[in-house]
């Protein structure tokens, strides 16, 4: 469903992403981990068409993000690390504006999805307030609603739970699992390794732009002869 092959991105002379390849299947949450500056956001920006990669190929549900950007973009939702939001719109107006982009979906389905996302993320009461008045966590939640509104088959989540309170973080995790269980392929970045350990079906560890290792937690434990060792310990062993 998401296929990244030999992705390379240079910023001038800096190689931020170097020959990165991975696949995420429907129903799978893939934890994309790495230190600050490892290249996670750059990879996601290349996957979502925000950056033109130096080389390599990204296919989303079989559509090449560079050659078929419009159709590829209909097939994913994206929660950026630092989302841009329209301060002068209410949360509901913003979601209605996002809905209008998805002309391939029925208005009824989008409205029902909006209703249940606002409820699940406990944002109903604030839906008619201006986004300019939202707290950091509320902004994150409205961004999540916007990304999941059209029930996309591929979901990119760049540190989506940062700033969420415990109840909202739990609601967000449940939503990610629900979407995966319904067949979405989810790419998830976080620095909270305990969260990755609990939520992700497979893990990929990136360092200095290179994907060092990937697998299930059990596979990583096996590979590093570290039975019962936490993901945090394995991560530190690999990346330090």
Whichever of 42 and 59 has its CB closer to ligand ATP, that residue is: 42
* 3-state secondary structure at position 230: coil
The residue ranges that bind ligand ATP (CB under 6 A) are 11, 14, 16, 34, 36-42, 81
CA distances from 200 to 5, 32, 214 (A): 21, 9, 12
Residue-wise over 32-71: b if at least 16 C-beta within 10 A, else e? bbbeeebbbbbbbbbbbbebebeebebbbbebebeeeeee
Q: How far is the CB of 164 from ligand ATP (least distance, A)?
A: 17
Which of these, 43, 70, 75, lies nearest to 57 by C-alpha position?
A: 43
Q: How far is the CB of 130 from ligand ATP (least distance, A)?
A: 28
Residue 41 or 74: the one with the smaller Cβ distance to ligand ATP is 41
Instruction: In angstroms, give the least distance from the CB of 20 to ligand ATP.
Output: 11
At its nearest, how many Å lie between ligand ATP and the CB of residue 17? 7
Residue 107: C-alpha distances to residues 76, 103, 104, 110 (Å): 18, 8, 9, 5
Shortest CA distance to 157 belongs to which of 168, 172, 167?
A: 172
Q: And the tokens for 19? A: 């020959």
Q: How far apart are CA 70 and CA 49, in angstroms?
A: 10
Smallest distance, ligand ATP to C-beta of residue 43, A: 7
Nearer to ligand ATP, 44 or 121 (CB): 44
Pick 14 or 88: Cβ nearer ligand ATP: 14
| CB of 207 vs ligand ATP, minimal distance in Å | 9
Cα–Cα dist 105/7, whole Å: 31
Q: Which lies closer to ligand ATP via its Cβ, residue 110 or residue 147?
A: 147
Quick one: 40 or 179, whose CB is closer to ligand ATP? 40
């Amino acid at each position: 469903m998401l296929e990244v092959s030999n992705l390379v991105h240079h910023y001038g002379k800096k190689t931020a992403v170097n020959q990165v390849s991975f696949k995420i299947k429907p129903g799978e949450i893939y934890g994309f981990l790495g230190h600050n500056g490892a290249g996670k956001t750059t990879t996601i920006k290349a996957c979502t068409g925000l950056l033109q990669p130096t080389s390599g190929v990204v296919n989303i549900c079989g559509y090449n993000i560079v050659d078929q950007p419009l159709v590829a973009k209909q097939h994913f939702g994206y929660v950026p690390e630092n989302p841009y939001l329209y301060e002068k719109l209410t949360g509901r107006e913003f979601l209605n504006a996002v809905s209008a982009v998805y002309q391939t979906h029925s208005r009824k389905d989008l409205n029902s999805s909006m209703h249940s996302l606002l409820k699940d993320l406990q944002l109903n009461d604030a839906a008619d307030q201006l986004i300019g008045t939202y707290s950091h966590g509320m902004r994150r939640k409205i961004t999540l609603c916007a990304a999941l509104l059209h029930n996309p088959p591929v979901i990119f989540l760049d540190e989506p739970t940062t700033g969420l309170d415990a109840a909202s973080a739990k609601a967000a995790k449940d939503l990610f699992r629900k979407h995966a269980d319904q067949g979405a392929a989810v790419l998830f970045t976080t620095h909270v390794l305990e969260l990755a350990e609990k939520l992700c079906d497979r893990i990929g560890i990136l360092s200095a732009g290179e994907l060092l290792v990937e697998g299930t937690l059990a596979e990583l434990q096996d590979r590093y002869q570290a039975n019962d060792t936490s993901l945090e310990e394995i991560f530190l062993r690999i990346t330090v």
